[in-house]
Amino acid sequence: MKVLPDHGLAPYHTFGIDAVAAQIVEAESIDDFVTIWRDSNFNTMPKLVVGQGSNLLFCEDFQGVIILNRIKGIALTETATSFCLHVGGGEDWHQLVSWCVKHNIGGLENLALIPGCVGSSPIQNIGAYGIELKDVCQYVDVLDVNTNEVKRYDAAACQFGYRDSIFKHQLKDGHIIVAVGFCLSKQWHPQIAYAPLNQFDATTVTIQQVFDAVCDVRKAKLPDPCKIGNAGSFFKNPIISKTLRDKLLVDYPSMPSYGVDDQHVKLAAGWLIDQCGLKGYQIGGAKIHPQQALVLTNIGTATAEDVIYLAQYVVDSVVTKFGVGLEHEVRFMAANAETHLSEILAS
């Protein structure tokens, strides 16, 4: 365990907004996490485990301890049919994908350049270009800080859903993801149904080509958080009834939608925001990215309040035009615990 002398949070979340914590510590092992929860200096304080902070907005100073997950390691074993990876929760996600591509292990390449650590990936059930984490996850190892025991949850027990999992609900508090297991087939089948990957021929395309294409597209469409503060996709793609979708298509025949089940479809939140004419819209130092309406950015001077008001403006605009509510994907952190856009503006 390493206690950091600096309390500023800007380097530890990709929005880069100035905020401070009462304490920041690094945990490099399961024992470090156990020690932190037992330590008399910390046991009465609120605690938040952070990987790279790529899905966080600190709405105010955090009156507790930030624990940086720095558990590392990639262990590879093989069966006759699969590559099996056991990966520490503190490993960088994109570096894991790059490692797999370098070793000609397919299955994760569609998820290239998604910011964050491996330990965060099951929480959101991250996904892109037709692949979600649930498709490749074999298990998740979770430390229960109340018992100091590590329990392994197989993929079914993780209750994965669209940008959702058990780690947002029953296992949200007092449980820390310390490792993730992946099972990747040796019989690689490229997932190239989504544009721009559908340009490839499934019989000839390589893992490297899919990886490169995904990286190129994400770099062109999404701002680099190292240069422009942001937390990636700020809003979830809303799921609505097919009945409402059909009504909207009368006025918006080009509106994209994707089937979820017999009763529901998923809309593209970025498209809805774009149709409201909000690309480039700015409040204070917070700005909707000119090329990607789904991304709210810190142009260098944004306060948390700027981002909050911009987010609410987006929500209100989409409701007014389409009658569809947007839910933020980014986690909002108040002084002592997680909060929600609606709760902040109601207070």
Pick the last residue of a domain from 17, 38, 69.
Answer: 69
Number of domain units in the chain: 3
User: What's the pLDDT score for residue 332?
Assistant: 96
Q: In the predicted model, is pLDDT for residue 8 greater than 80?
A: yes
**pLDDT higher than 90, residue 310:** yes
Give the residue from 52, 55, 56 showing the smallest Cα distance to 70. 52
Instruction: Give yes or no: residues 102 and 139 share one domain.
Output: yes
Residue 230 and residue 336 share a domain:
yes
> Residue 172: phi, psi to the nearest 5?
-75, -45
Residues 231 and 188 in one domain: no
Mean pLDDT, to the nearest integer, of 287-298? 96
CATH code, 161: 3.30.465.10
- Give the pLDDT mean for 193-212: 95
- Categorize the per-residue pLDDT at 199 as very low, low, confident or very high, splitting at 50, 70 and 90: very high
Among candidate residues 178, 199, 220, the one where a domain is terminated? 220
pLDDT reported for residue 221: 85
Q: What is the pLDDT of residue 345?
A: 83
Percentage of the chain modeled with pLDDT above 70: 100
**Cβ atoms within 10 Å, residue 290:** 12
Q: Give the length of the chain.
A: 347
Output the domain CATH number for residue 262: 3.90.78.10
Percent of the chain with pLDDT over 90: 93
pLDDT confidence band for 195 (50 / 70 / 90):
confident
Confidence class for position 36, pLDDT limits 50, 70, 90:
very high
- Shared domain check, 240 and 340: yes
Helix (H, G, I), strand (E, B) or coil at 2: strand
The chain-wide mean pLDDT, for the chain, equals 95
User: Does the pLDDT of residue 210 top 80, yes or no?
Assistant: yes
Phi, psi of 8 (to 5 degrees): -75, 135
Does residue 100 register a pLDDT over 80? yes
Residue 264: helix, strand or coil by DSSP?
strand
Report the pLDDT averaged over residues 194-209: 95
- pTM as predicted: 0.91
272, 326: one domain = yes
Confidence of residue 160 (pLDDT cuts 50, 70, 90): very high
Query: What pLDDT, on the 0 to 100 scale, is given for residue 328?
Result: 95
Active site residues: 163, 233, 329
39 and 143 share a domain?
A: no
Interval 239-285: pLDDT, tens:
999 999 999 999 999 999 988 899 999 999 999 999 999 999 999 99
**pLDDT given at position 43:** 85
What CATH number does the domain containing 60 carry? 3.30.43.10
Q: Evaluate if residue 76 carries a pLDDT over 80.
A: yes
Whether the CA torsion 112, 114, 120, 123 is positive or negative: it is negative
Question: How much is the pLDDT for 263?
Answer: 95
In a shared domain, residues 207 and 239: no
Of the candidates 203, 220, 237, which is a domain's last residue? 220
Same domain, yes or no, for 80 and 215?
A: yes
Query: 45 with 129, same domain?
Result: no
Same domain, 84 and 56: no
pLDDT score at 346:
80
- Say what the pLDDT of residue 24 is: 97
Residues 83 and 140 in one domain: yes
Q: Does one domain contain both 161 and 97?
A: yes
Q: Which domain holds residue 37?
A: 2-69
